[in-house]
C-alpha cells in the first residue's frame, strides 16, 4: 500500500453503496467513491481504489445509500411557499383571479420574495433538490435567499403587462430584470432566464422585445404554455390561433425555450416542439390539483421532446417534492398511454436531473455524476424497513422512496443539508418567517 505521502490530497470523498450516475443511461454502480476537489468531481472509482490513491480532508461513508445527482426542479415559484394551502380545490383562473393575485397585490414585496424563497430553499434542499428554475417578482431578493441557502437557482426575470409592487409595466419589468441579472454576474450559484408569465398576460410587442433581449444576452426563455383549455380558447378568440402557433410566429420557439406544463398539445404541436428543440417542464401534481389535465408525456418523449419535471409553486401543489413528481410523472405516463413500459424508473430520474439540466443549458455542469462536473449530489437511504428488501435501487428511488429518505445534499461539494440540519439556515429563522407572514395572509384564505 502507498505511504500517505504518495496519496493525492483532495477535499472530499463520498463512498456509496450504490451510485446512479445518469450518464451513461441505465447504469447502476456499486461500492463506488466520488472524489471531489474544489467543488468538482475529479474521479469516480471503486472505494478500494480510492483508499489507496487519495488522501481526503473528509470521507463520508454511505453504506446503506444510493448517491444520485442533485435533483433539479424545472418550474417553480419559490416565494409562493408563503401561500401554501391558501386557496385549495379551485380551478386555475378563479384560483388566480380571486385569491392568489389579490393576496400578491397586497403583500408581495422584497421581504416577501426573500422570506418565501428561503422557506422554499429549505424544503427543496431537505428533499434532495440542488437547483430550481424560478419565476417570480423581486428576483434579486430570491437570489439573496438562494445564495444564503447555498443552492443553485436559475431566476426568471419576470415580465407581465400589469403593474405590481415590483414594476409598473412590461418595459419596467424588463429593465428591473436586467439590473438584477447584472447584480449576480459574479455569483456561481445564480443564473437567469427571461420569464414572460404566459401568452395570455404578455403582448406581441413585449414578446418581440424578449426575443431580441434573449438573443443579445444569451438567455433562455421560461413561460407557462398550454396549461388549460381556457388559455387556448382565449388565444383563438383574441389572436385567431393557438398560443404555441403565436409563439412560433413571434420567434420564441427554440432550444433556449422552456415551456411549463404543455398539457394540451396536438400532434403537430408536439412535432413543432421537437423540431425547434424546445423543452417541457412537466408539473404533474399541479396540473392534477388545478384540474388542468395531464400532459402527453409518453408522446412528447417518443417524438424526441426533452421533458424535465417541476413542482410548480407550493400554492398549487402544496409540496416542492421531486420524489412525488417522479413517481406521479411515471405513473401518469403509463396510465394515459396504456403502456406499462413507458417512463421506466431510470427515465423518470433522468427527467428530474439531466433532462432538466439540458433545458437550462447547464448539462455540461450538472445533472449527472461525471468527472469534470460540479459535485451537486444527493444521498438517499434505502435501508429503512419501508424500502426493504431492495432488489432494484433505481426502481425503489422512484416508486418506494420519498423525500424523507434524503439524508445529505451537496452543492458544488459543500454539504448544505445533513439529516435534518441545514448548513446556512437556522430553524428559528424559518419559524420567524412563518410567524410573520401567516397572520397577514390568512385573510385571503379560501
Would you place residue 96 in the very low, low, confident or very high pLDDT band (cuts 50, 70, 90)?
Answer: confident
Q: Is the pLDDT of residue 15 over 90?
A: yes
pLDDT of residue 1: 43
Q: Is the pLDDT of residue 428 over 70?
A: yes
Number of domains the chain contains: 2
**Lowest mean pLDDT segment, chosen from 89-93, 170-174, 340-344:** 89-93
Identify whether residues 12 and 89 lie together within a single domain: no
pLDDT of residue 3: 52
Q: Is the pLDDT of residue 261 over 50?
A: yes
Distance CA 352, CA 354 (A): 7
Stretch 107-131: mean pLDDT: 98
Asked if residue 378 is part of any domain, the answer here is yes
Q: Is the pLDDT of residue 46 over 60?
A: yes
Strand order in the sheet with 40-46: 40-46, 29-37, 8-19, 54-69, 377-381, 406-411, 414-418, 421-422
Out of 314, 338, 359, a domain closes at: 359
Of 217, 237, 218, 234, the residue nearest 226 (C-alpha): 234
pLDDT of residue 304: 98
Question: Residue 65 to residues 11, 31, 60, 390: CA-CA distances in angstroms?
Answer: 21, 10, 11, 11
Would you place residue 325 in the very low, low, confident or very high pLDDT band (cuts 50, 70, 90)?
Answer: very high
Identify whether residues 97 and 122 lie together within a single domain: yes
Query: What is the domain-level CATH number for residue 309?
Result: 3.20.20.140
Strand partners, 410: 377, 415
Out of 315, 337, 359, a domain closes at: 359
Distance CA 394, CA 67 (A): 10
Query: What is the domain-level CATH number for residue 384?
Result: 2.30.40.10
Asked if residue 109 is part of any domain, the answer here is yes
Asked if residue 431 is part of any domain, the answer here is no
Q: Is the pLDDT of residue 267 over 80?
A: yes
pLDDT of residue 446: 61
The H or E element spanning position 92 is: helix 92-94
Identify whether residues 102 and 195 lie together within a single domain: yes
Cell numbers given for 362: 447547464
Identify whether residues 194 and 338 lie together within a single domain: yes
Q: Which residue range is the domain that position 311 belongs to?
A: 71-359
Asked if residue 436 is part of any domain, the answer here is no
Asked if residue 417 is part of any domain, the answer here is yes
Identify whether residues 37 and 80 lie together within a single domain: no
Report the alpha-carbon angle 231-272-199, nearest 5: 25
Handedness of CA 185, 127, 103, 207 (dihedral sign): positive
Omega before 401 cis (within 30°)? Answer: no
Out of 359, 376, 409, a domain closes at: 359
Q: Is the pLDDT of residue 444 over 80?
A: no
Stretch 295-317: mean pLDDT: 98
Asked if residue 17 is part of any domain, the answer here is yes
The stretches of 108-223 forming alpha helices (DSSP H) are 110-126, 139-149, 170-183, 204-217
Identify whether residues 216 and 171 lie together within a single domain: yes
Of 317, 341, 211, the residue nearest 261 (C-alpha): 317
Identify whether residues 50 and 87 lie together within a single domain: no
Q: Max CA-CA distance within the chain?
A: 76
Q: For 403-423, what is each residue's pLDDT tens digit?
A: 999 999 999 999 999 999 999
Identify whether residues 61 and 198 lie together within a single domain: no
Asked if residue 308 is part of any domain, the answer here is yes
Identify whether residues 184 and 332 lie together within a single domain: yes
Please check whether residue 155 is in contact with residue 346, taking contact to mean a CB–CB distance below 8 angstroms.
Answer: no
Asked if residue 438 is part of any domain, the answer here is no
In whole numbers, what is the pLDDT of the chain averaged over residues?
Answer: 97
Distance CA 58, CA 65 (A): 18
Identify whether residues 211 and 295 lie together within a single domain: yes
pLDDT of residue 2: 47
Identify whether residues 348 and 400 lie together within a single domain: no
| Per-position DSSP letters for 156-174, written without gaps between them | EEEE-SS--SS-SSHHHHH
Identify whether residues 393 and 255 lie together within a single domain: no
Distance CA 248, CA 138 (A): 29
Please check whether residue 54 is in contact with residue 10, taking contact to mean a CB–CB distance below 8 angstroms.
Answer: yes
Amino acid at each position: 500500500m502507498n505511504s500517505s505521502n504518495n496519496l493525492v490530497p483532495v477535499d472530499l470523498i463520498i463512498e456509496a453503496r450504490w451510485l446512479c450516475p445518469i450518464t451513461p443511461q441505465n447504469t447502476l454502480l456499486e461500492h463506488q467513491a466520488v472524489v471531489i476537489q474544489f467543488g468538482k468531481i475529479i474521479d469516480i472509482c471503486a472505494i478500494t481504489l480510492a483508499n489507496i490513491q487519495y488522501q481526503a480532508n473528509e470521507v463520508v461513508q454511505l453504506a446503506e445509500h444510493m448517491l444520485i445527482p442533485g435533483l433539479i426542479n424545472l418550474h417553480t415559484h419559490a416565494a409562493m411557499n408563503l401561500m401554501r394551502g391558501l386557496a385549495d380545490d379551485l380551478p386555475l383562473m378563479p384560483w388566480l383571479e380571486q385569491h392568489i393575485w389579490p393576496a400578491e397585490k397586497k403583500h408581495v414585496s422584497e421581504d416577501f420574495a426573500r422570506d418565501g424563497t428561503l422557506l422554499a430553499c429549505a424544503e427543496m434542499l431537505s428533499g434532495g433538490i440542488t437547483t430550481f428554475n424560478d419565476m417570480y417578482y423581486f428576483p434579486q431578493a430570491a437570489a439573496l435567499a438562494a445564495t444564503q441557502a447555498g443552492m443553485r437557482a436559475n431566476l426568471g426575470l419576470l415580465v407581465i403587462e400589469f403593474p405590481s409592487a415590483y414594476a409598473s409595466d412590461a418595459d419596467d419589468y424588463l429593465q428591473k430584470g436586467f439590473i438584477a441579472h447584472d447584480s449576480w454576474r459574479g455569483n456561481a450559484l445564480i443564473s437567469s432566464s427571461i420569464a414572460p408569465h404566459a401568452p395570455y398576460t404578455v403582448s406581441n410587442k413585449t414578446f418581440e422585445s424578449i426575443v431580441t433581449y434573449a438573443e443579445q444576452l444569451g438567455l433562455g426563455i421560461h413561460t407557462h404554455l398550454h396549461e388549460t383549455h381556457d388559455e387556448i380558447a382565449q388565444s383563438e378568440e383574441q389572436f385567431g390561433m393557438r398560443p404555441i402557433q403565436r409563439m412560433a410566429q413571434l420567434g420564441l420557439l427554440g432550444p433556449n425555450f422552456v415551456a411549463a406544463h404543455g398539457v394540451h398539445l396536438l400532434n403537430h404541436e408536439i412535432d413543432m416542439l421537437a423540431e425547434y428543440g424546445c423543452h417541457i417542464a412537466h408539473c404533474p401534481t399541479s396540473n392534477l390539483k388545478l384540474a388542468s389535465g395531464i400532459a402527453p408525456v409518453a408522446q412528447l418523449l417518443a417524438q424526441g421532446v426533452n421533458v424535465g419535471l417541476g413542482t410548480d409553486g407550493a400554492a398549487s401543489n402544496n409540496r416542492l417534492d421531486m420524489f412525488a413528481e417522479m413517481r406521479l410523472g411515471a405513473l401518469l405516463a403509463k396510465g394515459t398511454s396504456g403502456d406499462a413500459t413507458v417512463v421506466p424508473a431510470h427515465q423518470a430520474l433522468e427527467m428530474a436531473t439531466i433532462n432538466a439540466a439540458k433545458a437550462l443549458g447547464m448539462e455540461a455542469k450538472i445533472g449527472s455524476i461525471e468527472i469534470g462536473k460540479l459535485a451537486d449530489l444527493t444521498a438517499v437511504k434505502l435501508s429503512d424497513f419501508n424500502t426493504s428488501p431492495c432488489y432494484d435501487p433505481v426502481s425503489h428511488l422512484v416508486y418506494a422512496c420519498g423525500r424523507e429518505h434524503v439524508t445529505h445534499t451537496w452543492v458544488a461539494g459543500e454539504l448544505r443539508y445533513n439529516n435534518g440540519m441545514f448548513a446556512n439556515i437556522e430553524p428559528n429563522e424559518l419559524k420567524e418567517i412563518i410567524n410573520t407572514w401567516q397572520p397577514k395572509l390568512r385573510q385571503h384564505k379560501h
